[in-house]
Amino acid sequence: MSPWIVGFLALYVYPMLASLYYSFTKYDGGKAAPKWVGLFNYRFMFTADPLFWASLRNTIWMVAVSVPLSIVLGVGSAYVLTKPRRGRAFYRTAFFLPTMVPAVAASVAFLFLLNAGGPIDHILGFFHLPQPLWFLNAQWSKPGLVVIGLWGIGSTMIIFLAALLDVPTHLYEAADIEGASAWQKLRYITLPMISPVIFFTAVIGIIYGFQYFTEAYVVGSSIGGAAGSSGSGLGAPQGSTLFYTIWLYQQGFEAFHLGYASAMAWMLFAIVLVCTLVLIRSSNRWVFYQGGGFR
Amino acid sequence: MSEATVAAVVPRTRQRTAEARRKAFLSTVATHSVAIALTACFVLPLFFVVTTSLMSQQQALTHDLIPHPFQWRNYTDIFSEEPIFRYGWNTFVYAGLATFGVIVSSVPVAYALSVIKWRGQRLVFLLVISTMMLPSQVTIVPLFLFFRNLGWIGSLKPLIVPAFLGDAFSIFLLRQFFLTIPSDLIDAARVDGANQFQIMWHVVVKVAKPAIAAVGLFQFLYCWNDFFGPLIYSSNNDSIWTLSVGLQHFTTIHRGVLWNQQMAASVVFMLPVIILFLIAQKAFIEGVTLTGVKG
Query: What's the pLDDT tens digit per position in B189-228?
Result: 888 888 888 888 888 888 888 889 889 998 999 999 999 9
Which positions of chain B have pLDDT values less than 70? Answer: 1-16, 290-295
Length reported for chain A: 295
DSSP state of B82: S
Calculate the CA dihedral of residues A193, A199, A200, A203 and round it to 10 degrees: 180
Best residue in B109, B138, B173 to probe A by mutation, most A CBs within 10 Å? B138
CB contacts < 8 A, A to B, total 236
User: CB-hemisphere CA count at 13 Å for B240?
Assistant: 20
CB contact under 8 A, A83 and B35: yes
Backbone region of residue A209 per phi and psi (left: phi > 0; alpha: psi in -120 to 50; beta: other values)? alpha
Q: What are phi and psi of A25, to 5 degrees?
A: -130, 170
Alpha-helical segments (H) within B134-227: 136-149, 157-160, 168-178, 183-191, 196-198, 205-207, 209-225
Tell me how far apart the alpha carbons of residues A169 and A91 are, in angstroms, rounded to a whole number.
23
Q: Are B270 and A291 in contact (CB under 8 A)?
A: no
Nearest to A19 among B42, B138, B232 (CB): B138
Tell me how far apart the alpha carbons of residues B148 and B154 are, in angstroms, rounded to a whole number.
9
Tell me how far apart the alpha carbons of residues B235 and A140 are, in angstroms, rounded to a whole number.
32
Give the chain B residue nearest A18 (alpha carbons): B142
Rg (CA), chain A: 23
Residue B2 confidence (pLDDT): 47
CB contact under 8 A, B166 and A93: no
Task: Give, in order, the Cα–Cα distances in Å from B200 to each of B114, B184, B203.
Answer: 11, 14, 6
Q: In sequence order, what are the beta bridge partners of A36?
A: A25
What's the gap in Å between the CA of A12 and the closest CA on chain B?
A: 7
Three-class DSSP category at B14 = helix
Q: Establish if A92 touches chain B: CB-CB under 8 angstroms.
A: yes
Tell me how far apart the alpha carbons of residues A269 and A12 are, in angstroms, rounded to a whole number.
14
b/e code A205-228 from CB counts within 10 Å (16+ = b) = bbbebbbbbbbbbbbbbbbbbeee
Residue B14 confidence (pLDDT): 60
Q: Establish if A210 touches chain B: CB-CB under 8 angstroms.
A: yes
ipTM of the complex: 0.89
Tell me how far apart the alpha carbons of residues A238 and A224 are, in angstroms, rounded to a whole number.
9
What's the gap in Å between the CA of A112 and the closest CA on chain B?
A: 7
- Give the CATH fold of the A36-224+231-286 domain: MetI-like fold (1.10.3720)
DSSP state of B69: S
Nearest to A95 among B38, B61, B273 (CB): B38
B77-291 — its CATH code? Answer: 1.10.3720.10
Task: Give, in order, the Cα–Cα distances in Å from B152 to each of A2, B92, B156, B160, B271.
Answer: 23, 19, 8, 11, 30
Give the chain B residue nearest A111 (alpha carbons): B256
Tell me how far apart the alpha carbons of residues A113 and B53 are, in angstroms, rounded to a whole number.
12
Residue B293 confidence (pLDDT): 43
Residue A7 confidence (pLDDT): 83
Which 108-147 residues of chain A touch chain B by CB within 8 A? 108-113, 115, 117, 119, 122
What's the gap in Å between the CA of A249 and the closest CA on chain B?
A: 9
Which positions of chain A have pLDDT values less than 50? Answer: 227-230, 292-295
Q: How much is the pTM? A: 0.89
Tell me how far apart the alpha carbons of residues B206 and B209 are, in angstroms, rounded to a whole number.
6
What angle do helix axes A191-209 and A258-286 make, rounded to 10 degrees?
170
A273 contacts in chain B (CB < 8 Å): 133
Residue B200 confidence (pLDDT): 87
Give the chain B residue nearest A114 (alpha carbons): B45
Give the chain B residue nearest A260 (alpha carbons): B141
Which 33-72 residues of chain A touch chain B by CB within 8 A? none
Cβ-in-10-Å burial (0-12, 13-18, 19+) of B180 comes to exposed
What's the gap in Å between the CA of B3 and the closest CA on chain A?
A: 31
CB contact under 8 A, A18 and B142: yes
Tell me how far apart the alpha carbons of residues A252 and B102 are, in angstroms, rounded to a whole number.
28
Could you state, in order of their start, the residue ranges of all structural domains in chain A? 36-224+231-286
CB contact under 8 A, B39 and A95: yes
Q: Establish if A95 touches chain B: CB-CB under 8 angstroms.
A: yes
What's the gap in Å between the CA of B105 and the closest CA on chain A?
A: 7
